[in-house]
Amino acid sequence: MNCKHIKNQLIDYIDDNLDKETSKKIQTHLASCKSCSEDLQELHNVFEAIDDTPVELPSKKLRMNFEKMLVQEKELDDDSKVVSLHRESKNSWKVAMQIAATIALVVCGYFYGKLEKTESFSQEIAVLEKEKYQMKQTMTISLIENESASKRLQAVNYAEEFEKPGNDILNALISKMHYDDHINVRLAAAEALSKFSDSEIVRKALIHALDMEQDSGMQIELIQILVSIQEKRAVPAMEKLLQNKETLDYVKDQVKIGLPSLI
C-alpha cells in the first residue's frame, strides 16, 4: 500500500472501522512513514478539538415554547375531533340518506329495466312473430307451386297450421284441390280447407270440387267434409253424383249415408 492509499484509510483506522489485517498493515506503515504518521496526528488533533467542543444548551425558553405549542396543538386536535364528531353525526344522516337513495335508485332501475325489457321484449316478439308468419305464408305459397308432389303436400300441411290464413293461402289451397295432378295433394288440400269452412270461398270451392271431381277417393272425402260442415248447397252436386252412371257404387253409398243429414 502506498502513502495515498494509507492516508485515505486513516479516518477508518482512527474509528476502528477496519479489519485486523488492514489495521496491522497501516500500523506497520505508520511506524516507518513520517508523512503518514504526521497526517494521523493532525487528524487526531482535529477530532480532539471537535470532541472538546462543549454541547451547547438552549435556553429554557425553547422548552417553554415547546410545551406551549404542544398544549395548543392538543387543543386544536381536540377541537378538530369535536368538529369531526359533529360532522360525523351529520354525515351519518347524510350517509344513511345516500345509501337509501342509492338502494331506491337501484331498485327503481331494476323494475324500470324489467318493465322496459318486457315491453320491448314482447314488442320484439310480436314483430318476430309477424315476420315469421309472413315468411311462412310466403314459403307456403312458393312451396305449393313446387314441382315435387311431396313438397306440395308439405306446403298444404303447413297451410293447415295457419289459424286465419290469408286469401293468398286459401286461393292456393283451393287451386291445389281443384287442379293438382296428384290425388294425395288434392286430398290434403281438401282436408286442410275443411278446417277453414267458415270462409264462404272455401265452401263454394268445396261444392265446386265435388261437382267436377272424377276420383272416387276424392269424391268420398269431399262428401264427408260437406256433410260435416252441413253445407246444404252441396245437395244438387250430390244428387248429380247419384244419377251419374260412372259414379262408383261405394261413392253412391257414401252420398246416400250423408244426404239425409243435409236435407
Partner 1 sequence: MKNLTDEELMILVSNGNLDMMSVLFDRYHIKIFNFIQKMTRDREISEDITQEVFYKAIKYRSSYRKGKFSAWIYTIARNIFSDHYQNQKNKDERFENVAYKVEQKEQDYIESKEVNEELYRALNQLSKTDKQLVIMNRYQGIKYQEIAEITGSTAGAVKTKVHRAIHKLKNHYLQNA
Name residues whose C-beta falls within 8 Å of residue 169's C-beta, 6 or more positions apart in sequence. 137, 140, 141, 159, 162
The residue from 74, 87, 204, 256 that contacts partner 1 (CB under 8 A) is: 74
Handedness of CA 158, 161, 162, 165 (dihedral sign): positive
The residue from 65, 118, 123, 228 that contacts partner 1 (CB under 8 A) is: 65
**By the rule CB under 8 A, 58 interacts with partner 1:** yes
b/e 6-45 (16+ beta carbons within 10 angstroms → b): bbebbeebeeeeeeeeeeeebeebbeebeebeebbeeeee
- Minimum CB separation from partner 1 for residue 59, in Å? 6
Distance, in Å, from the CA atom of 156 to the CA atom of 169, rounded to the nearest integer, reads 9
**By the rule CB under 8 A, 62 interacts with partner 1:** yes
Specify whether the CB–CB gap between 101 and 123 falls below 8 A: no
The residue from 2, 32, 53, 214 that contacts partner 1 (CB under 8 A) is: 53
**By the rule CB under 8 A, 3 interacts with partner 1:** no
- Residues 154-193, one symbol each (x = binds partner 1 by CB under 8 A, - = not), give ----------------------------------------
Q: Residues touching partner 1: how many (CB under 8 A)?
A: 28
Distance, in Å, from the CA atom of 160 to the CA atom of 169, rounded to the nearest integer, reads 10
- Residues 7-46, one symbol each (x = binds partner 1 by CB under 8 A, - = not), give -x--x------------------------------xx-xx
**By the rule CB under 8 A, 79 interacts with partner 1:** no
**By the rule CB under 8 A, 63 interacts with partner 1:** yes
What phi, psi does 260 have (nearest 5°)? -60, -35
What phi, psi does 182 have (nearest 5°)? -95, 125
**By the rule CB under 8 A, 69 interacts with partner 1:** yes
Binding residues vs partner 1 (CB under 8 A) = 8, 11, 42-43, 45-47, 49-50, 52-59, 61-63, 65-67, 69-70, 73-74, 77
